[in-house]
Structure 1
């Protein structure tokens, strides 16, 4: 069902896309990537291709860590409102949390460190025992702040769910309302997104690091906002300055995760030899991919389980579009 907030539709041909290639991509997905659940392509602000595999158009999907990239947008709005600073230490902006820390180096952890995953917290990706202890703690935020940092703040990238959950709690504290209410007010409602499932920790805080659910079309709107430097229709939802800063390469991430070595503010950057672009990614093959030079947004979703990575479909699509533009 098309709503007033959905992107207007067009045909692949009118959007400069090759219908034959797209049909071949669907065959490839069915044969090689049976865990894919959707593929949507928008160009020049128009939905040009939409295919679902085992789900319906209006079925919200578990975004997993794509939630982190949405959290970056919310952080940008809080900064724009003047209630949060990227460069100031977290504990200066949340003095009540000081008593939860033991390691004095927490005094030097900034919002920027949380955005680039360089706070010094260990990574749940490489330490499953730590991951289990953090996720199942009665108060994951208290658990996080009580950790001894594994490196000096700003020294090294450690993919950290706990750090992004802390960032979400900080944004909530600074704006004076639950993170999900703030998100609904400043981002979701302007994009026509109703209240959606967003799972919470044992203390009732929604997970800043994951578990937000959106439909693929709603994900596409999110990507379009990023492509349009924070604008949706005639309204500025997130500042253009934040989008520009958010998508700059800031640190080398874990290339083994997605084959993308560079990380911005909770967004990945396309790898060397690929079409320049920005990715919000999540476990199980959840993607919002934005390619400014091609005026292109691609969304893919997948079953939340281990299965072959299907980002190659997006990479191949961008190459096909870029080649067509040059011909």
Structure 2
């Protein structure tokens, strides 16, 4: 969000081209329509908009509006049934797209499964799982729950943390994180960090005793029918998965994550992740009433319009890669795209305003979006975004570098060359092409 998003949006746009009411119940009067079962196959159950309480013509207008605002893929589900698709979905449903920080929520789910399995204690110091002597005592005292709630205490610098992930050029994410200075006591202060979530993926990997993506594929993706060939999830030069971003996944698979959440973690006859963990993950924390375990929760938080019901939450990524879940309306909305608005809050507001009008009968109109942000708020964060000591540390220089980890060698681990992790056709934000090694749904 903010200044760094605006700048990077211009870069992505230049390199990619694909042809205030009170919060509460929304008083849906549409009655009970059919409920659809989830599927681990390539197709999903559908229903007509009228069956699920929408007006077809008005819903088509909502989808057209989203497409006009750079939403490249849109899927709307009611009671688990797909009732609406964007006009470009036939082209884009199977194309892997970088969901950026929405990756954090997927990392949270993998951590939750490890916790459910008894392999990861959320309140144990992460040093319990890391090699002896790796990091100092302060860093080793951080817990997985601290990482999940963005209260690790690590210094943050959004732009600098992101730069070295381009081309997967980081030498060793875990070591880099363990060298980031601690500026607050763990658990005391919310500070949105990318490096902390990279550290979380490393901790989960150590706790489960196998590569992070291998565990994620078997325990999360396989039950949902998300195949290993569908997506690309970037890893650093020593093979460790980025936890904070850089999962390039087809929209149809991304939507399945929303359906899993809407079903309280159950997929068919399998409880993939416990409802207990999801309840914690989707509840606000003491340090940020808008944040759970790497999810944004509650109306007025992140891109969630203020007029949505109180139980709403979202998976949120740069340039508006979202899954919105509105349990009160039994509604899941997934969209991906490239910006489409000057303010992240404006487009979702106007989309859901139109979606409310597409119900039959319509839900109350919240009125047009009114920008109340202060432009100076973004300017004040610029200096924090450009902490060059953190960038130098990731490259192996200066006081923020981990001893023995540089662009040449990182703690003696086998290391690949920079920019070689991605399969053919995958670059930065998208995977395209006919090469059989290029991920995607075909």
* Band of TM-score, shorter chain: 0.7 to 0.9
Query: SS state of the match for residue 213, structure 1?
Result: strand
Cα distance in structure 2, aligned partners of 1:134 and 1:123: 15
Aligned to 2:125: 89
Cα shift readout 1:90-132 (whole Å, capped 9, x = no counterpart): 11232x1x53324x4324311111001110112233xx34554
Q: Using a 3 Å threshold, how does the CA distance of structure 1 residues 91 and 321 change in structure 2: closer, same or farther? A: farther
Aligned to 2:290: 262
Q: Using a 3 Å threshold, how does the CA distance of structure 1 residues 295 and 305 change in structure 2: closer, same or farther? A: closer
Aligned to 1:249: 284
Cα shift readout 1:197-245 (whole Å, capped 9, x = no counterpart): 1111121112111111222221111111111111011111111111111
Q: Residue 169 of structure 1 contacts residue 205 of structure 1 at CA under 8 Å; is this kept in 2?
A: yes
Greater helix share, structure number = 1
Query: SS state of the match for residue 280, structure 2?
Result: helix
Q: Residue 166 of structure 1 contacts residue 208 of structure 1 at CA under 8 Å; is this kept in 2?
A: yes
Cα shift readout 1:233-285 (whole Å, capped 9, x = no counterpart): 111111111111110111555xxxxxxx6000011013243323111111121
Aligned to 1:66: 102
Aligned to 1:26: 63
- Structural mapping, 1:190-209, within 5 Å: 190-195=223-228, 196-209=231-244
State the aligned residue count.
312
Cα distance in structure 2, aligned partners of 1:289 and 1:184: 23
CA offset at residue 308 of structure 1?
Answer: 5.0
- Structural mapping, 1:222-233, within 5 Å: 222-233=257-268
Query: SS state of the match for residue 100, structure 2?
Result: coil
Q: Residue 78 of structure 1 contacts residue 84 of structure 1 at CA under 8 Å; is this kept in 2?
A: yes
CA offset at residue 28 of structure 1?
Answer: 2.5
Query: SS state of the match for residue 101, structure 1?
Result: coil
Q: Any unmatched runs of 5+ in structure 2?
A: 1-38, 301-305, 365-442
Cα distance in structure 1, aligned partners of 2:165 and 2:92: 34
Q: Residue 152 of structure 2 contacts residue 187 of structure 2 at CA under 8 Å; is this kept in 1?
A: yes
Q: Residue 319 of structure 2 contacts residue 338 of structure 2 at CA under 8 Å; is this kept in 1?
A: yes
Q: Residue 41 of structure 1 contacts residue 50 of structure 1 at CA under 8 Å; is this kept in 2?
A: yes
Cα shift readout 1:136-176 (whole Å, capped 9, x = no counterpart): 54223211101221211112111111111111111111111
Cα distance in structure 2, aligned partners of 1:5 and 1:57: 11
CA offset at residue 318 of structure 1?
Answer: 6.0
Cα distance in structure 1, aligned partners of 2:298 and 2:358: 16
Aligned to 1:101: 135
Corresponding position: 1:143 with 2:176: yes
Query: SS state of the match for residue 14, structure 1?
Result: helix
Corresponding position: 1:188 with 2:221: yes
| Aligned-residue RMSD, C-alpha | 2.6
Highest RCO, 1 vs 2 (Cα 8 Å, sep ≥ 6): 2
Q: Residue 62 of structure 2 contacts residue 351 of structure 2 at CA under 8 Å; is this kept in 1?
A: no
Q: Residue 172 of structure 2 contacts residue 238 of structure 2 at CA under 8 Å; is this kept in 1?
A: yes
Cα shift readout 1:60-97 (whole Å, capped 9, x = no counterpart): 22121111101111111101111101111111232x1x
Cα distance in structure 1, aligned partners of 2:174 and 2:340: 26
Aligned to 2:149: 116
Q: Residue 62 of structure 1 contacts residue 304 of structure 1 at CA under 8 Å; is this kept in 2?
A: no
Cα distance in structure 2, aligned partners of 1:249 and 1:168: 22
Q: Residue 262 of structure 2 contacts residue 325 of structure 2 at CA under 8 Å; is this kept in 1?
A: yes
Aligned to 1:257: none
- Normalising by the residue count of structure 2, what TM-score does the alignment of the two structures yield? 0.65
Corresponding position: 1:271 with 2:299: yes
**Structure possessing the higher radius of gyration over alpha carbons:** 2
Cα distance in structure 1, aligned partners of 2:287 and 2:355: 23
Q: Using a 3 Å threshold, how does the CA distance of structure 1 residues 313 and 4 change in structure 2: closer, same or farther? A: farther
Corresponding position: 1:168 with 2:204: no
Q: Residue 258 of structure 2 contacts residue 324 of structure 2 at CA under 8 Å; is this kept in 1?
A: yes
Cα distance in structure 2, aligned partners of 1:52 and 1:137: 38
Higher mean alpha-carbon deviation, 232-241 vs 213-222, is at: 213-222
Aligned to 2:255: 220
Aligned to 2:332: 297
